[in-house]
Chain A
Amino acid sequence: MAEVTLTHVELIGEREWLAVTETCRLCRIDAGALQELAELGVIAPRGKAPAEWEFPAAGLARLRLAGRLMRDLGVNASGAALAVELLEVQRELERRIHALEHLALEPR
């Protein structure tokens, strides 16, 4: 079995700003979908015109989630944006319930 030990592993930093092409590559969406998702508020770009936009790496996770939902479930950008928001609300509520359970229930 061939074996390789990698020495170079790169974290896509949370404070980086990414160009349109790089963002599309990382999220596996095309530029049209990216623009639509940005206009729907899934990610907040900086720059005046769409061609000059840059995207925060910190927002990649929700953009990738939107991309997966569009690709795998066949929903459009509006549906994906709505689903991303609802899933985030769901996760936040689950987090709070978990925290309250920790506080309220008897110790193990």
Chain B
Amino acid sequence: MEYRDYYQILGVQRAATADEIKTAYRRLARKYHPDVSKEPNAEARFKEMQEAYEVLKDPEKRAAYDQLGSEWKSGQQFRPPPDWGSGFEFDGAPGGARGARHRRASGRARGGSGAAQEEVFEQEGFSDFFSSLFGGGSPFGAAARHGGRDHHARIDLELEQAFRGAASTLELKRPEMKPDGTLEVRTHTVRVTIPPGVTDGQLIRLAGQGEPAAEGGRSGDLYLEAHILPHRLYQLDGRDVTLTLPVAPWEAALGAGVTVPTLGGPVEMQIPAGAQSGQKLRLRGRGLPGQPPGDEYVQLKVVLPPANSAEAKALYAEMRSKLDFNPRADLKG
């Protein structure tokens, strides 16, 4: 695994006070928080900062981290020292964390089938470096609890996956104690089937896939918050989708039957005569599935054919001479 320089991540000196660390974290968190930031890679940056702050805000963890020495550089190959955590006293029953049965489901998820991408946030997405030194299973990890805590993660879905449902693969990282007493971060793979009709921001519960509990207790649940990615054709609003449909001037003027893409496949739709650019037509029940299902709104966009041939120019000239049409009539004072 690679060493992480937590002081460098927060942009503070190794001698920084607790207040300076807190101020640096707050300032960076405001800039990179995924809910408010437009910065590229905001989520990954924010995760790094959270991880760094989790260690540096805690005097015990910070002291242990400092004992690794200041010679390490970010990205250097690193293994936890065999006596890691010795010399520290722990609240509660940290020894319990050294039991092989205590496996903390901390995880980073990866894309499953198709283009699904999931990224775990909160402590579940912290690095192997953090998990080995400070995660569950380490001397600094919480002792196994009777009832395991819930874990929360985020799953990004394409709109088509939200419509049809999706099979995804999550990788949950769990530090485990090996027989020789050293820690190893092992990956636990979970395959999930997301049902059709998930909306943006909706929660999906995976019962029992959160933090494992002490023997006899109940494991926590894993909650996935669905985020639906922007789509090339459709705009999503709740369960409704809007599609911009280019139409020819004569289709708008005279009416026409056209084939329209929907999430469930193409359908035939009638454009009424006298339609205008910007007008919206509704295809009931063609949005995301649900009770009731969403609708698809088709917004017409009249596209002019280019006057790039003698024949086309003649047609435009004929319209000019024969149609009594002034598009700027409303501008007259």
Contact = CB atoms under 8 A, between A and B. Distances in A.
Contacts of A72: 29, 33, 46, 50
Interface stretch (A37-45, A47-55, A61-69): A61-69
The 6 A-B pairs with the shortest beta carbon distances in the complex, nearest first, are A61-B201, A12-B203, A102-B244, A10-B205, A3-B189, A5-B191
A74 B22 CA distance: 10
Contacts of A32: none
Interface stretch (B192-200, B254-262, B319-327): B192-200
Contact size range, B: 35 or more
A73 B194 CA distance: 31
B187 A1 contact: yes
Interface in B149-201: 150, 152, 186-195, 197-201
Contacts of B235: 95, 98-99, 102
B207 interface: yes
B264 to A, nearest CB: 20
Contact of B303 (A1, A14, A107): A107
Given A6-B206, A28-B152, A68-B35, A60 B201 contact: yes
A64 B223 CA distance: 12
Given A1-B187, A6-B190, A15 B291 contact: yes
Interface string A68-86: 1100111000000001000
Contacts of B74: none
Contact of A3 (B152, B191, B192, B193): B191
Contacts of A74: 26
B15 interface: no
A2 B189 contact: yes
Contacts of B33: 68-69, 72-73
Contacts of B278: 103
B26 A1 contact: no
Contact of A9 (B35, B193, B246, B301): B193
Contact of B301 (A3, A64, A98, A102): A102
B12 to A, nearest CB: 17
A72 B199 CA distance: 25
A26 B203 contact: yes
Contact of A25 (B35, B150, B194): B150
Contacts of A107: 246, 303
B88 to A, nearest CB: 27
Q: Which of B194, B198, B244 has the most CB of A within 10 A?
A: B244
A99 B242 CA distance: 9
Given A11-B198, A25-B150, A28-B152, A4 B190 contact: yes
